[in-house]
Structure 1
């Protein structure tokens, strides 16, 4: 097993909790008193994590707890890995942005990852991530970006594209809490050491899976302008207060230097997508150096993960 069933979770803000599954976070948001009762799950972790997510939900909300909906910040495999299994237990709506829907209705695959961006073994390991789209069409609902999500009426939904075409973040104006998915993250996600050890570092979206850097920069600037006091990201620890606001402002003002890779498949030319899915991917250009590093890093990474987590 990669991880054991556990009820471990952490508080993000009033009515908001999270749980960390190996290297990715999922979140549980409850509506406040005076609003429709219930709670939603934000993202669905990695494959094999359904029992952990259910266990945490029952620890927070009680035995047999069931969300009123699942909201996807985006549909990458580390955020939807347990989705199909969860829907067998919880037959609830799955909300996603219109441009993200093709990747959860079997209509389109994401653009390939970019392992050439470097910065750590996770970039190389992105070659192993699931490439085929899910198909949970029966449960999918397109988010109404003007009116939001009925099951979560106090929260605003923000289109924070760049990491993926239909990436969204959630914002609660009452206490300026953000759940941002991978629009920016709180660790250096390209590094296995940072990611698995949950070392704090405000960073741009994971480089190896971000396919439009101009849009990603614009999204970070939007989020920074909101001056959040709390942020739960898809990877890394919770960010709060001045550390969050100053770090996010610095990232927004220096995004190209801090976040955009010096080279790689999407550094200069983005992939293109619409409501039908991906329709253009720039060509991949490998190098002899990359091939050598990829082979060695892939072998070492595979050995390390098997040794550390498989029992």
Structure 2
């Protein structure tokens, strides 16, 4: 497992692995302005702050926090970080009910696949949180505040308001959990971080037809590099081939066993 390890994938984008999930830090290290994308696991506030200070060489707070979605492993340390930083949070309008106390996510599906991570998923936190004083919808024009040149793409399926972030000029994609590069349902593969293309984590995905459309949408923009919510970054021909494979074999690769069509 790569817990606590960081990787600079381009000059202004760095991802850091917090136990089983990736947290992204966007910003040029020569500048004081930066943005945090997702907030990792619970009880990780200090570790995230330490990673930010190590990355940027100062203790400046981010200009904002952008969420790909609101599952517990992506917002686990959000509330304590907000108490420390007092900065705006941006999320898709369809994700806001899970972030303002209105809705809870469904419990994890233990029958989604045979792995231990799936089997334990009903025990994972699934309640929404309430960060209303800090919460803002992402702009409807697709732009992302404080991330010039980036646009958000609605990649529903894993959750209703899931988004991925894309910079067209160099093809860099922050995919969130629209697709991942490790079989997240298997504890063995998560620990070893075995790289393989996979759909969104099966035990928490709410709408599989939307998830299928979202994978096809991302494959269609032909990203050159992708940082996903789980697993190692992927780029170039490896990424292109992997996304093509996922689109063409979505039922076999991505769908849970209990949802696959009969042969």
Q: Give the alignment partner of residue 185 of structure 1, picking from 160, 180, 184.
A: 180
* Contact kept? 1:74, 1:100, Cα under 8 Å: yes
User: Counterpart of 2:88?
Assistant: 93
User: Counterpart of 1:275?
Assistant: none
Distance in 1 of aligned mates of 2:32 and 2:82: 20
* Contact kept? 1:104, 1:133, Cα under 8 Å: yes
Change (3 A) 1:32 1:172: farther
Shift in Å, 1:20: 0.4
How do 1:31-50 and structure 2 match up within 5 A? 38-50=33-45
Shift in Å, 1:109: 0.4
The answer to whether the aligner puts 1:130 opposite 2:125 as a matched pair is yes
Shift in Å, 1:119: 3.0
User: Counterpart of 1:81?
Assistant: 76
* Contact kept? 1:38, 1:68, Cα under 8 Å: yes
Change (3 A) 1:32 1:149: farther
Q: Give the alignment partner of residue 61 of structure 1, picking from 52, 56, 59.
A: 56
Distance in 1 of aligned mates of 2:43 and 2:76: 7
* Contact kept? 1:145, 1:157, Cα under 8 Å: no
Shift in Å, 1:37: 6.2
User: Counterpart of 2:115?
Assistant: 120
User: Counterpart of 1:18?
Assistant: 15
* Contact kept? 2:29, 2:56, Cα under 8 Å: no
**Which aligned segments of 4 or more residues in structure 1 are displaced greater than 3 angstroms?**
none
User: Counterpart of 1:280?
Assistant: none
- TM-score with structure 1 length normalisation? 0.80
Distance in 1 of aligned mates of 2:203 and 2:145: 34
* Contact kept? 2:108, 2:123, Cα under 8 Å: no
| Counterpart secondary structure, 2:165 | strand
| Counterpart secondary structure, 1:231 | strand
Q: How many residues align?
A: 260
Q: Residue deviations 1:53-99, cap 9 Å, x none? A: 10110011122121100000000000000001111111101100001
User: Counterpart of 1:175?
Assistant: 170
* Contact kept? 2:29, 2:55, Cα under 8 Å: no
| Counterpart secondary structure, 1:170 | strand
- TM-score with structure 2 length normalisation? 0.94
Question: Unaligned regions of 5+ residues in structure 1, if any?
Answer: 269-311
